[in-house]
Structure 1
């Protein structure tokens, strides 16, 4: 809570939590790993300059999986909706207001550049080709950067029931529903689509559920995986009108359950589908989204093709194998 407060007041995200970081460092020292694998380190629980100073001192190979753009910006995770390109040369005064009394984007950009440069054996892994491309334009462009897409458990996420043939069912799933995730676009879709098209949104707050218009069924966030699989499997199409994303796991969960995907051309989201398993629409093109949904109803894509793509490209076990090969390569070159 103190770290979160320092972030919201003084834009010090990643610069507090020294005590918690010491505990982590002590655990790393006790384990003495051959490789250190990092994921998200910017959610108010670590002091990254402190951590990277330690990592530089032990010279252990580090693999760092990137789930957003934070590592090469002055603080923002995504900049699509800001239309900002300062990250390419040096953030100065971020247009995204994150704190009440400060804007440390220039300092954060400098700190990250310096801290990460101290790690000689650092390999970045992107979960999308889109993010890999951004890394290659950023201050981290001279680092090794690989793409390993996210995977899902295909034994869990699988087709368990037939598609609805009485009513065309549209599904949307998000952990948080806001403008960035396309909630407003779903409301517009409801106005433009035929009344017999059913829309179900999963992950809403109860407050959001209470104000939904007729024709949209809202379900609050669920931890019941079986319920989620049922919804994915029964849907005729999964729609993801996201405006800011890296590689949404919901897309590949839908494919694994045999459901085609319609998504905006946002980040790495289009990488989940091909011509046989989905349709990609330009951001904000509600008319195009409507046409794609109607096209999907009139010419449904094969559920088996969706499942096959998930098996070929997004099997978590194959994802693990790629990481193991990466680890072995790092150790061989160490």
Structure 2
């Protein structure tokens, strides 16, 4: 049995790690696996197809910024990739993020239609069923339900600086993405699954397979040296990229509402963000040391995730598995990993309530760890493998 996965990246970032780990699990199950990807580099133990080049990605991005036709460039790169895909002749194709300026979605879906093979598509955001954006929760837009037009987020990823072709994009995506008779949508949260079922995917089977984490890495860690203020209760925020949408400004505002017994630590900031932080906030640039990250989670009094746009954040799962309660906004699928034994959910933008929750947080390490153990990535991969066998049967 041959499995072909397609994703923007391979081996890094949340979706890239999922694709690589899933290939390893499928290989153990007897699959011959390839991962086609468009950006960066890939792990040596993964059999891969690089789609295009960095120059092609940059050109696709520039043209998209002018035309707002993201996903309709990279023609030569996609044709070359599809020749390799034909030679591999997969029995099942698993799509992840097909946005990211690297593949031509029209050519890709025409090829998928010609193959008549089972296709699994894991949606990691909302891009697949909108005319432009990857997230609309923050602004409460519902045009995607009936047909996008006059996009209020034209300047957001995948940004267009000139034209608004959200209506055209929506029509083309609907035409292409509903053309497959053997497509199964997978979402990592019930929230996103519900949205997909309300979109033009309403007649497509939708499964929920939650994201998982590596419990051999994320568990209480007390032996890593950390440069944290002594005698302070650590309020931790972690993200790969900090933006206003991720709640960066809200964490700064939170630090001003907490008394001196607390210290806010933000992991994943750029050097420029770190230099601009107020004195009472500690910034740590992105760390690739998972053991050190687990130790930071373990040392925290609370993990705060004031995100305004999220599907099912793995940072919540990592914090729980390390024994730390999670306080998050009622955003997307972020609350789904939390119950009243291990965290609290706050309405978006209510920083005062966020501060009150931090100061009153009193959850047992055991309860948090127990909740975190529900998200073992190996069990999630078994769910995917079960779906593969079901579709191939």
Question: What TM-score do you get using the length of structure 1 for normalisation?
Answer: 0.95
- Aligned match of 1:139: 200
Q: Flag structure 2 segments of 5+ consecutive residues without an equivalent.
A: 1-57
Query: 2:330 touches 2:347 (CA, 8 Å); kept in 1?
Result: yes
Per the TM alignment, residue 180 of structure 1 is displaced from its structure 2 partner at its CA by 0.2
Per the TM alignment, residue 127 of structure 1 is displaced from its structure 2 partner at its CA by 0.5
Query: 2:255 touches 2:280 (CA, 8 Å); kept in 1?
Result: yes
Per the TM alignment, residue 24 of structure 1 is displaced from its structure 2 partner at its CA by 2.3
Per the TM alignment, residue 68 of structure 1 is displaced from its structure 2 partner at its CA by 0.4
- Aligned match of 1:155: 216
- Aligned match of 2:176: 115
Q: Structure 2 CA distance, aligned partners of 1:26 and 1:235?
A: 50
2:86 to 2, 21, 29: 29
Per the TM alignment, residue 166 of structure 1 is displaced from its structure 2 partner at its CA by 3.2
Note if 1:265 corresponds to 2:326: no
Structure 1 stretches of at least 4 aligned residues deviating more than 3 Å after TM superposition: 162-166
- Aligned match of 1:295: 360
- Aligned match of 1:251: 316
1:190 to 255, 260, 270: 255
1:103 to 152, 158, 164: 164
1:166-177 paired onto structure 2 within 5 Å = 166-177=231-242
- 3-state SS of 1:136 partner: helix
Note if 1:181 corresponds to 2:181: no
Query: 1:233 touches 1:254 (CA, 8 Å); kept in 2?
Result: yes
- Aligned match of 2:51: none
Q: Structure 2 CA distance, aligned partners of 1:217 and 1:164?
A: 9
1:201-240 paired onto structure 2 within 5 Å = 201-240=266-305
Q: Flag structure 1 segments of 5+ consecutive residues without an equivalent.
A: none
1:185-240: CA deviation from partner (whole Å, max 9, x where unpaired): 11111111102201100111111101111211001112222221111111111000
2:384 to 301, 323, 326: 323
- Aligned match of 1:52: 109
Shifted more, 27-36 versus 323-332: the winner is 27-36
1:1-46: CA deviation from partner (whole Å, max 9, x where unpaired): 1001011111121111112212321222122121111100100001
1:199 to 264, 272, 280: 264
Query: 1:164 touches 1:234 (CA, 8 Å); kept in 2?
Result: no
Per the TM alignment, residue 83 of structure 1 is displaced from its structure 2 partner at its CA by 2.1
- 3-state SS of 2:282 partner: strand
Q: How many residues matched?
A: 328
- 3-state SS of 2:198 partner: coil
Question: What TM-score do you get using the length of structure 2 for normalisation?
Answer: 0.81
- 3-state SS of 1:324 partner: helix
Q: Structure 2 CA distance, aligned partners of 1:257 and 1:83?
A: 33
CA RMSD of aligned residues (A): 1.5
Q: Structure 1 CA distance, aligned partners of 2:74 and 2:276?
A: 39
Q: Structure 2 CA distance, aligned partners of 1:20 and 1:272?
A: 39
Q: Structure 1 CA distance, aligned partners of 2:182 and 2:81?
A: 20
Q: Structure 1 CA distance, aligned partners of 2:86 and 2:229?
A: 55
1:120-176: CA deviation from partner (whole Å, max 9, x where unpaired): 100000000000111111111110000000000100111112999932111000111
Taking CA–CA contacts closer than 8 Å with sequence separation of 6 or more, which of the two structures ends up with the larger relative contact order?
1
- 3-state SS of 1:114 partner: helix
Q: Structure 2 CA distance, aligned partners of 1:143 and 1:66?
A: 13
